Amino acid sequence: MSTASSDLGHRHTILIVDDLPYNIDLLSSILNVDYKVKIAINGERAIKIVNGEHPPDLILLDIMMSIMDGYEVCRQIKANPERKLIPIIFVTAMEQHDDEEHGLTLGAADYITKPFSPVIVLARIKTHLALYDQTRELESRVKQRTVELEHYRQHLEDLVNERTVQLANRNEELQRVMGKLVQSEKLAALGHLVAGVAHELNTPLGNTLMTVSTMDDQLRQLDKELAAGKLNRKRFDDYLSQSRVALDLIHRSVRRAAELVSTFKKIAADQKSMKRHQFGVVDLIEQCLLQFRGEFEARSIQTLFEFESEFYLDSYPAALEQVLHNLLENTWVHAPIANQLLQVKLHLHSASTDNSGEHQVMRLVLSDNGRGIDPEILSRVFDPFFTTSLGQGGSGLGLYVVHNLVSGVLGGSISVESQVGAGSQFILLLPLSAPQTVTISVFDRAS
Ligand SMILES: Nc1ncnc2c1ncn2[C@@H]1O[C@H](COP(=O)(O)OP(=O)(O)O)[C@@H](O)[C@H]1O
Ligand SMILES: [Mg+2]
């Protein structure tokens, strides 16, 4: 193979475009040895060959042709993006500099003038072919890289899509499982609550039933004795006093049951059953303290109420009253330590915006310096039926009701801090305007 063979591994093809057979023959004879030569005897034919399936690697183009001149041929070739890189060398008569410049601006690679020296023609052709080979080599590498990159990009896109689908599926599954969990927890909580209510009511109702059936037996006995003429005054008096004791027991049991029912009703207290309006908090707290003055004085408990100014809430006064009622009641029931002066303090702080920065909230702290709450049970005091005074009238529903009301209709939150022997603090955060709708239910604290 000759020195002119290309790096791409084929013999270069040169297209000679000229309408004079003499010129064609001359150039062919110079090129034939090293190159494959194609010939076009006019512009139209040349363009056909160039645009055909096997384009040449270089074009020797005569400028002066009769039908279509070399410039026009050049312009049309350069207009085809697939062929525009093929080097074109113009061939013309001697010393026509204007032609040379014009040709170069059209994109011609070079210029040779007639009469030509074969050595120079070959040298120029060789140079331009080498350049063209390099350009094509580079182009093909760039193309290959682009294809590779496109593959890679596609691969990444597929991967991301696949992962996104996987994540979406996982998320869906997680939500389904969580939904089920919440559902089953709510059911468990409801079961727990119902069992607690039944258990609480069972004692007074059981006592009542038992007493009533005893009274029934006694009455039958009395009836029999009367029919047999055996009833005397003493026997009758005995019966009367037994009946009084039994009635008293029934009375107490039924009252206890009624009290329990009224407490249970408070558990389910909702917005619809309460009246919402504007009210002053300071005024409401003072009313509450006044209402309990007798209870506090009887136990020598000191009360203190600190506030900066009156606050007006657009909320549910009955709910807040119930909350204060339960919290204050707990202070005289649970906090007192024998032979120690008990102090109960209420501190109302000025309103501030909450964490979200959206709502104005007030902070109310109710503290006592009493017995305090054991750290082991501190997290359970808001649970339903949790009490440390079982059998002493404690229902364990007081703080549960408080929690429901505060986080429900009142739209706030409550927390407790305590130290055994140093007292307890209940901290309430309440929005100045209660939420319009509440989704919190009686299950939230039941566990
Ligand atoms: N101020 C307080 N000081 C000490 N212990 C308290 C106080 N308030 C509540 N507790 C504890 O929290 C428990 C739950 O209170 P609560 O729900 O009102 O039920 P109950 O009063 O019927 O026991 C009480 O049994 C008591 O152990
Ligand atoms: Mg209580």
Domain annotation covers residue 251: yes
Q: How confident is the model at residue 270 (pLDDT cuts 50, 70, 90)?
A: low
Ligand with the closest atom to the CA of 335: 1
Task: Tell whether 313 and 398 lie within a shared domain.
Answer: yes
Domain annotation covers residue 423: yes
Q: What is the CATH number of the domain that holds 396?
A: 3.30.565.10
Nearest atom, ligand 1, residue 395 CA: 22
Q: What is the CATH number of the domain that holds 60?
A: 3.40.50.2300
Domain annotation covers residue 145: no
Instruction: Write down which residue in 266, 300, 321 finishes a domain.
Output: 266
pLDDT, position 191? 76
- Per the listing, tokens 């596609």 go with 154
Q: Tell me: pLDDT of 133 over 70.
A: yes
Task: Tell whether 343 and 413 lie within a shared domain.
Answer: yes
Pocket lining: 55 vs ligand 1, CB cutoff 6 Å: no
What is the maximum span of the chain, computed from C-alpha positions, in angstroms? 167
Ligand with the closest atom to the CA of 391: 1
Cα of 276 vs centre of ligand 1, distance in Å, is 29
Q: Tell me: pLDDT of 275 over 70.
A: yes
Domain annotation covers residue 303: yes
Strand partners, 336: none
Task: Tell whether 343 and 363 lie within a shared domain.
Answer: yes
Distance from CA of residue 164 to its chain's centroid? 16
The residue type found at 23 is N
**Measured CA distances, 439 to 33, 110, 444 (Å):** 95, 85, 10
Task: Tell whether 295 and 423 lie within a shared domain.
Answer: yes
Task: Tell whether 195 and 248 lie within a shared domain.
Answer: yes
Task: Tell whether 322 and 411 lie within a shared domain.
Answer: yes
Nearest atom, ligand 1, residue 327 CA: 8
Residue pair 280/348 in contact by the 8 Å Cβ criterion: no
Pocket lining: 367 vs ligand 1, CB cutoff 6 Å: no
Task: Tell whether 284 and 385 lie within a shared domain.
Answer: yes
Domain annotation covers residue 298: yes
Pocket lining: 435 vs ligand 1, CB cutoff 6 Å: no
Q: Tell me: pLDDT of 9 over 90.
A: no
Task: Tell whether 318 and 212 lie within a shared domain.
Answer: no
Pocket lining: 87 vs ligand 1, CB cutoff 6 Å: no
Nearest atom, ligand 1, residue 423 CA: 3
The protein residues having their C-beta less than 5 angstroms from ligand 2 (an ion) are 330, 398
Q: 236-245, 258-267, 380-389, 432-441: which has the minimum mean pLDDT?
A: 432-441
Domain annotation covers residue 332: yes
Domain annotation covers residue 328: yes
Domain count, the chain: 3
Domain annotation covers residue 271: no
Buried b (16+ CB within 10 A) or exposed e, 3-38: ebebeeeeebbbbbbbbeeebbebbeebbeebbebb
Task: Tell whether 245 and 283 lie within a shared domain.
Answer: no
Q: Tell me: pLDDT of 436 over 60.
A: yes
Ligand with the closest atom to the CA of 396: 1
Pocket lining: 331 vs ligand 1, CB cutoff 6 Å: yes
Pocket lining: 445 vs ligand 1, CB cutoff 6 Å: no
Q: Which of 193, 323, 334 to mutate to test the pocket of ligand 1 (most atoms within 8 A of CB)?
A: 334
Task: Tell whether 306 and 389 lie within a shared domain.
Answer: yes
Pocket lining: 386 vs ligand 1, CB cutoff 6 Å: yes
Ligand with the closest atom to the CA of 399: 1
Cα of 21 vs centre of ligand 2, distance in Å, is 121
Q: What is the pLDDT of residues 139-152, one digit of tens each?
A: 999 999 999 999 99
**Would the pTM of this model clear 0.75, i.e. be above it?**
no
DSSP 306-359: EESS--EEEE-HHHHHHHHHHHHHHHHHHS--TTS--EEEEEEEEEEE-TTSSS
Range of the domain at 49: 13-116
Task: Tell whether 288 and 251 lie within a shared domain.
Answer: no
pLDDT, position 3? 41
Pocket lining: 334 vs ligand 1, CB cutoff 6 Å: yes
Nearest atom, ligand 1, residue 370 CA: 3
Task: Tell whether 57 and 112 lie within a shared domain.
Answer: yes
